[in-house]
Amino acid sequence: MSILLIAGSPSEHSRSAALLDAVQARLGGHVLVDRLHIRDLSPQALLLADVHHKSIAHAVAQVASARALVVATPIYKAAYSGVLKVFLDLLPQTALKGKLVLPLATGGSPHHMLALDYALRPVLQSLSASHVLTGIYATDAQVPKDEDGEYQVGSDIASRLDDAVNILFKEILRMPLAAGHTTGFSPVPFAQVRCSV
């Protein structure tokens, strides 16, 4: 089982990336975690929708192979980031079919909290996501910088991330296996089952 963390911020160091770091720490070694920084993709390939470009093709393949996605974005002018929008536009219409998605967002004030539900969620659902979990929105005050200038997730957001990661795990375990995926075991007819007490 793999989970892809998608950083949708145009900045290298950002509050939304700090949320992804916190999620990754909570996932620990329990699952295979991959990370996609959209800002590292070829800007020209993104803007020209060049899906055959090496960086874009690799990013689309990362999405395809993941069981679940955690998408983090800053909110600008009541919408998610433009770099995230451009990338999502390049994905096939059913790119998120059979996948869980946990959306995360950061913004300057609580006023843009609903951007998760009114801007990002519809796009994720239009890409056929099996289930978009309840998102987490954090204000700048909830992800402050520490004395070293690094963003740190505040205790209230940390608690919500704990809950979200637990729900993500439970939902992944409830999901049916992907078509063609086998567990490595053949079915055993009930008549052949032996028990000892």
Instruction: List 104's β-bridge partners, or say none.
Output: 72, 136
- Is residue 163 pLDDT above 50, yes or no? yes
Structure tokens at 181: 């995926």
183 pLDDT tier (thresholds 50, 70, 90): very low
Tell which phi-psi region holds residue 19, choosing left (phi > 0), alpha (psi between -120 and 50) or beta. Answer: alpha
Tokens 């959209």 sit on residue: 38
182 pLDDT tier (thresholds 50, 70, 90): very low
Give the integer Cα–Cα distance in Å for 164 and 103.
10
Of the listed ranges 27-31, 76-80, 127-131, 162-166, the least confidently predicted one is: 27-31
Mean of the pLDDT values across residues 80-106?
96
- Is residue 128 pLDDT above 90, yes or no? yes
The most distant pair of C-alpha atoms in the chain lies apart, rounded to whole Å, by 67
Dihedrals φ, ψ of 117, to 5°? -80, -35
Residue 7 DSSP code: E
Of 125, 154, 127, 143, which is closest to residue 16 (Cα–Cα)? 143
Domains of the chain plus CATH, in order, are 2-192 (3.40.50.360)
By 3-state DSSP, what share of the chain in percent is helix, strand and coil, each rounded to 5? Answer: 40, 20, 35
Output the pLDDT for position 165.
95
